Amino acid sequence: MYDFEFVKPASIADAVKALKEDGAQALSGGQTLIATMKQRLAAPGTLVSLTGIAEMKGVSAAGGQLTVGGATPHAVVAAEAKAAYPGLAALAGGIGDPMVRNRGTIGGSIANNDPAACYPSAVLASGATVVTDRRKIAADDYFQGLFTTALEEGEIVTQVIFPIPEKAAYVKFNQPASRFALTGVFVAKFASGVRVAVTGAGADGVFRWTEAEEALSKDFSPAAVDGLSVDPSGLMGDLHGTPEYRANLIKVLTKRAVAAA
Amino acid sequence: MTKVTMTVNGKTVSGEVEGRTLLSGFLREGLGLTGTHIGCDTSQCGACTVHVNGRAVKSCTVFALDVAGAEVKTIEGMANADGSLSVLQQAFQDCHGLQCGFCTPGMVMASAALLADNPTPSEAEVRHGLEGNLCRCTGYHNIVKAVLQASGQDITAIPA
Ligand SMILES: Cc1cc2nc3c(=O)[nH]c(=O)nc-3n(C[C@H](O)[C@H](O)[C@H](O)COP(=O)(O)OP(=O)(O)OC[C@H]3O[C@@H](n4cnc5c(N)ncnc54)[C@H](O)[C@@H]3O)c2cc1C
Ligand code: FES
Ligand code: FES
């Protein structure tokens, strides 16, 4: 790993200022970025740690919404979102392992937008709003492909605001070595309809399975997706699973998520 | 180089580090606390697990400067004040929860954090809680038993 200058601002405003410098990059839990820097795939000149910014931490529920600070570790969401949004808390409690959950954060996860990451499915299925230092971005506009998001240079995810569904569940089929999602499905049922988001499977990252959304909005039961099938073209294939295998998993996991919700 | 200060096993310590100095490197090379092992250096194996402000973290995936001012606990801080093994460490010995011992510092630190959160875990909760720690020798059963014994639960019914 190349050396860098380390700064740890105490406010969002100071972090934004520090990130304006050439070669500066945000560091949150470091559970992705430090490994990337060790491989020299990233070599920032300055790392701006977000872990000392109190206004970016914590979980709060009010008015049918759950707000999670961008620098809140997964373990805190797992513990503190349990009462208000159990489906989201369970997702956070299943990310990686306890040590990863104690450091890794929601902001880092959705800024990175790994195609096998768990959080993007919850953000998309909940129709959440990603709040940054400069604007609010709807989940449907935020995720733009593999490791690609609507974020601009130096833009910081400060909060994610989740509308709380009536029922929701996330079911992932673990890739046993990495514990990321080989495929994962988040189902969220709102009064206005059902949203279904799939991670770990799309060649372009997280996506909504709209046919299942329509079927489940009419009849929220596992059997409602029986007659549907997912087209494997457009899905990822690797040594862990072919596109056809993932297509089948999406359907199976959707049914399990509906049953668990 | 920048000066970093933190509390390690109850003592205030300082040292000069680079931005890229990992907590694992600061503990091992800076402070000579080589009980914290580096197995993979890629956040996979958990051998480097230590506590930062009471929470288990992989010290190979945390920068020393990012935990300036924190309370850090390593395997060297786990024995009783008189040098005898803590209940958890003794349980690892009693249950044969180690063979080569390479993973053991991380296993003990992860288990201690697990028991602090959940003092009487089920076998499934212990297995879930140790998902981030790899052991290439024991096959895990005896490690799980050791953690359950340390929690004060009866382990005689658990198959070997
Ligand atoms: C062993 C292991 C297992 C894992 N298993 C899973 C899993 O099952 N599911 C899963 O979803 N993830 C998993 N992860 C990834 C983990 O969730 C990471 O925490 C996450 O991907 C990155 O979050 P971070 O806070 O560590 O971000 P960092 O590593 O600090 O940063 C990642 C990227 O995001 C940028 N960034 C960070 N914070 C912000 C912000 N607030 N605003 C804008 N940009 C920001 C950084 O500049 C960097 O480019 C695993 C990781 C490991 C090491
Ligand atoms: S050495 Fe840190 S996880 Fe393996
Ligand atoms: S005892 Fe040898 S790796 Fe666990």
Q: DSSP per residue over B41-77, as a string?
A: SSSSS-TTEEEETTEEEEGGGSBGGGGTT-EEE-GGG
> Within 13 Å and on the Cβ side, how many CA atoms surround B132?
31
Residues A183 and A172: their CA atoms lie apart, in Å, by 6
Residues A157 and A100 in one domain: yes
**Which one of the ligands is nearest to A53 CA?**
1
pTM of the predicted protein model: 0.97
Question: In total, how many domains does chain A have?
Answer: 3
Question: Is residue A201 domain-shared with residue A181, that is, in the same domain?
Answer: yes
> What is d(CA A248, CA A231) in angstroms, rounded to the nearest whole number?
9
Asked whether the beta carbons of A27 and A48 are under 8 A apart, the reply is yes
Do residues A172 and A183 make contact, with C-beta atoms less than 8 angstroms apart?
A: yes
Distance CA A174, CA A96 (A): 10
Distance B55 CA to ligand 2 centre (A): 16
**Residue ranges per structural domain of chain B:** 2-77, 87-150
Among A114, A141, A163, the domain boundary falls at A163
- Whether A18 and A70 map to the same domain: the answer is no
State which H helix or E strand residue B100 sits in: none
The answer to whether residue B136 neighbours chain A at the CB level (below 8 Å) is no
Short-list A140, A172, A135, A169, CA closest to A152: A135
The pLDDT of residue B160: 62
CA distance A78 to chain B (A): 13
Residue of B nearest to A38 (CA): B42
The partner residue sitting opposite A1, judged by closest CB among B20, B57, B66, is: B20
- Are A158 and A171 part of one and the same domain? no
Q: In a 10 Å sphere around its CB, with 0-12 CB exposed, 13-18 middle and 19+ buried, how is residue A41 labelled?
A: exposed
- Same domain, yes or no: A115 and A38: no
Query: In CATH, what number does B2-77 get?
Result: 3.10.20.30
Mean pLDDT over each residue of chain B, to the nearest integer: 96
Mark which residues 142-181 of A lie under 8 Å from B by CB: 179
CB contact under 8 A, A102 and B57: yes
How far is the CA of A223 from the CAs of A192, A226, A252, B20, in angstroms? 20, 5, 11, 53
Rounded to the nearest angstrom, the distance between the alpha carbon of B39 and the centre of ligand 2 is 5
Same domain, A128 and A189: no
CATH number at residue A213: 3.30.390.50
Nearest to A241 by CA among A174, A142, A154, A190: A174
Identify whether residues A75 and A118 lie together within a single domain. yes
Q: State yes or no: pLDDT of A29 exceeds 90.
A: yes
Pick the residue of B20, B51, B67, B109 with the most A CBs within 10 A to test the interface with A by mutation: B20
Residue B86, ligand 2, Cβ within 6 A: no
pLDDT, position A178: 84
What integer best gives the mean pLDDT of chain A?
97
Same domain, A142 and A115: yes
* pLDDT at B156 exceeding the cut of 90: no
In terms of domains, do A130 and A37 share one? no
- Check: CB of residue A187 under 8 Å from CB of residue A194: yes
Among B63, B67, B103, pick the best mutation site for testing chain A contact (most A Cβ within 10 A): B63
Both A112 and A176 in one domain: the answer is no
Q: Which DSSP letter does residue B97 get?
A: -
Average pLDDT of the residues in B123-138: 96
- What pLDDT sits at residue A179? 83
The helix, strand and coil proportions of chain A, stated in percent and rounded to the nearest 5, come to 35, 25, 40
Compute, in angstroms, the gap from residue A19 CA to the centroid of ligand 1: 18
**Domain end call among A110, A144, A163:** A163
Query: What residues make up the domain containing A235?
Result: 167-260
pLDDT digits (tens, 9 = 90+) for A220-244: 999 999 999 999 999 999 999 999 9
Query: Ligand 2 centroid to B48 CA: how many Å?
Result: 5
**Pairwise pLDDT comparison (B157 vs A147), residue with the higher score:** A147
| Sole residue written with tokens 């979102």 | A81
Q: Which fold has domain B87-150?
A: DNA polymerase; domain 1 (1.10.150)
Q: Give the mean pLDDT of A200-208.
A: 97
A77 contact partners, CB below 8 Å, separation of at least 6 = A59, A68, A88, A89, A92, A106
What mean pLDDT comes out for the span B39-51?
97
Find the CATH number of the domain harbouring A147.
3.30.465.10
How are strands ordered across the β-sheet holding A46-49? A5-7, A46-49, A24-27
For residues A114 and A61, membership in a common domain is answered with yes
Q: Which ligand is nearest to the CA of B22?
A: 2
A43 and A72 in a common domain: no
